[in-house]
Structure 1
């Protein structure tokens, strides 16, 4: 349920976690040194956990936990954006590294600027302007997550759940084998 005063709807929490896992799976066979890919996954997972704290603990109810969530979300979220931007430019999936990488770098820079401004304004007690920066920051994060569509459009992710068998065929392999033996009938 979306309550008044919550910054992040609950649906976005799951979306961020799903994007983190799908991005990790997408890049896993492509990276030579997996530490950067694992770091990106961990940073996005911690940012998602921070969003969970933000969504469940309003500032008016539990300020300390809300502020921890803010720090996790914005700190690890910014780190994750820079890591994913570097991975995008380095790996260059389907020759679209620049198409997706340049906007990601620009959004990462905007996010970093917003995070710095947010914490400066909060330290000075200028909460009205900090809240505006915070909303701008959330919009930049949402735009950033939207840039993954460029690279995800080339992939098909499946979840297969079955008992372990020696001669396991995936559903798509089974269909392709079945279609080899069928004649074209209308």
Structure 2
């Protein structure tokens, strides 16, 4: 009988709910807008902020779980946790400082979220290759990392040439591919169980 850890469902549910939240923000637009534009004005901005805050929190938890899972593999593991943590901070900046409210902080958060997310994909792909060899999961992660990188380049280059609609599509594809990448952690987490041990180190009072 096939058994797996309950943690295997966490990255899958995280990706599904984050994607669903972003699609709710998109609702009402005929063509795909830039995500930041869709979540710029109320009431969509309220939903957008909540989605990004929850996504940042969930992404950080997933990054910590991945770090604990690979704790015996020091190569790039600590740096990987730092990268995803900073990317999650970028998500909160994007969600809480909309374009019309604070453009500078929004852009800083956007570059942190997208740039560091892309870096995280590559670092995790390399770690997977070193930990598991040329497995199917490692190959798929390298392919997804390459796709994320291509979407990133298109996202930044297409608007420069006036092609805003395709630039927005590249941004949405970038986000969905990154969520798909995170959901792939379910393959490893299905074998792991995590627990928190609480201990009281205080000295017991002496009886007289």
Instruction: State the TM-score, normalized to the length of structure 1.
Output: 0.77
- 1:78-118 per-position Cα deviation (integer Å, ceiling 9, x unaligned): 111000001001111xx8x6132111111101100011111
Partners of 2:98 and 2:158 lie apart in 1 by: 19
Residue 158 of structure 2: SS of its match in structure 1? helix
Aligned to 1:21: 64
Instruction: State the TM-score, normalized to the length of structure 2.
Output: 0.70
Contact kept in structure 1, 2:52 and 2:91, CA below 8 Å: no
From 119, 125, 145, give the equivalent of 1:79.
119
Does the C-alpha gap of structure 1 residues 58 and 87 become closer, same or farther in structure 2, counting only changes over 3 Å? same
- Range with greater deviation from structure 2 (9-18 or 76-85): 9-18
Partners of 1:163 and 1:123 lie apart in 2 by: 59
Which structure 2 residues correspond to residues 101-140 of structure 1 after superposition, within 5 A?
101-140=138-177
RMSD: 2.3
Structure 2 unaligned spans of 5+: 1-20, 26-42, 204-208
How many residue pairs match? The answer is 160
Max Rg structure: 1
Aligned to 1:179: none
Residue 9 of structure 1: SS of its match in structure 2? helix
Does the C-alpha gap of structure 1 residues 161 and 123 become closer, same or farther in structure 2, counting only changes over 3 Å? farther
Which structure 2 residues correspond to residues 1-186 of structure 1 after superposition, within 5 A?
4-5=44-45, 6=48, 8-29=51-72, 31=73, 34-92=74-132, 98-164=135-201
Q: CA deviation at 1:125?
A: 4.6
